[in-house]
Amino acid sequence: MESQLNDTVKRVRVGAERRVLHDLDARRRQLERMRTMLHEREDVFLQALADDLGKSAFEAYSTEIGFTINEIDHTLDHLEKWAAPTKVSVPIHLRPGSARVVPEPLGTVLIIAPWNYPLQLVLAPLVAALAAGNTAIIKPSEVAPATAAALARTIPEYLGPDAVGVVTGGVPETTTLLEQPWDHIFYTGNGTVGRIVMRAAAEHLTPVTLELGGKSPAVVTDAAELRSAARRIVWGKFTNAGQTCVAPDYVLVDEVVAGRLLTELSAAITEFYGDDPRESGDYGRIINPRHFDRLVGLLDGTATVAHGGTHIAAERYIAPTVLTDVDPASAVMQDEIFGPILPVLTYAALDEAIDFVTARPKPLAFYPFTDDRHEADRLLDAVSSGGATVNHTLLHLAVPELPFGGVGASGMGAYHGRHGFDLFSHRKPVLRRASKPDPSIAYPPYGGLTAKLLRKLL
């Protein structure tokens, strides 16, 4: 297995050395082939995502397949512009001459993907890497085995073997990959593994992008429209059964409107998933028994279950659950939940809510709900987060030209659209000068009038 892994890595390294994606047309062909793969193998991927996560066909298409196709199309539409050299001005004492910033590929990159969106979070970074002219090794998550197997089967059918290689397996294979030198490592997952990735990358001075997570808060003020706020929070929280890095992890609501918001949250859950979400075709399942047990353990506390709370181990099913009377020191408020459990806490004054959020590590996403523009601006100014959506959840990810990434403990580096192209590019500065003129004043000895003139110019 290790020899096969090394052969795969060697093949794409040789591809980078031979500059197989140096030409823009070659990059376009790979992106177009990826789009064709997603169309022609849609049923394969839909089945794999259903097997791994219980995703409905609509959710799997919209959040994984369709999302990636949109990223490909946007990239193809703008690739020529992104790849064009950019002229910059030349100071007077360096004229005559011209200066440009030239994007060039980094080389061969490693993309390590998570299990929660096991198709999109492999392929969306790959779109950016290929667009920038890199070859790539992708490592799908072994925790989503059906999707990993589908990628391993289909990618060699569509993408060039010297452009993209797939390595499957678990911790041993990932460890072997991390021991090797790369031109960039792109990791999506949790902070614990992110630290391992950074330590390994440091051995080779490899640049790293970390897309991590954290406890992304929603703050609902008394100026919010409560029905739409509840519907949008429920949608963002319980999509993919809460297994979304930018899902609202908890809600802080003004105590004046807390009761009404809880009523609307329950109504939205029932509207979306019915009286028994277990029977809903639009509600997913927990990825595996280990994560199921972890989540059920978070329910064994002092909080009050205001909605849901039921769970069936054999089906990896946990109902959409809302908790109240939550102790901020309890386990459910310590680490990212990453499941269908939504704690709701109250505050008396907006400063109290701001202090609560800012006393904790910087989140990947922040969701203020208010129809008071000044209030929204105040919240956005006070809370540092990877990204934010006002009066909705998740949607900032869907804007191709908004960078997606974290800050502080929620990650480093950003991609999507132009930001992904730049992430996987070296922006090389190039100054061009003619052989003549070549005035002697520019060279030693520097004395007298020459020194005075040069001091004025420089």
> In the prediction, which pLDDT does 237 show?
98
**Has residue 452 got a pLDDT over 80?**
no
Q: What pLDDT does 301 receive?
A: 79
Distance, C-alpha 201 to centroid of its chain: 19
CATH numbers and ranges of domains, the chain = 2-212+408-430 (3.40.605.10), 217-405 (3.40.309.10)
How far is it, in rounded angstroms, from Cα 319 to Cα 237?
A: 12
| Catalytic residue list | 211, 245
For helices 66-83 and 24-40, give the axis angle rounded to 10 degrees: 170
**What is the reported pTM?**
0.95
Dist. CA 278–CA 223, nearest whole Å: 34
| Percentage of the chain exceeding pLDDT 70 | 99
Tell me the C-alpha to C-alpha distance, in Å, between residue 332 and each of 56, 71, 328: 27, 34, 8
pLDDT in tens, 177-236: 999 999 999 999 999 999 999 999 999 999 999 999 999 999 999 999 999 999 999 999
Mean pLDDT of 264-279: 98
Average pLDDT over residues 29-40: 98
List Cα–Cα distances, 188 to 7, 117, 141, 180, 205, in angstroms. 25, 10, 10, 19, 19
Token reading at 344: 């709701």
pLDDT at residue 2 greater than cutoff 90: no
Q: 70: pLDDT confidence band, cut at 50, 70 and 90?
A: very high
Say yes or no to pLDDT of 367 above 80: yes
The CA dihedral of 311, 315, 319, 321, to the nearest 10 degrees, is: 60
Dist. CA 385–CA 205, nearest whole Å: 27
Evaluate if residue 457 carries a pLDDT over 90: no
- Give the span between the Cα atoms of 380 and 26, in whole angstroms: 42
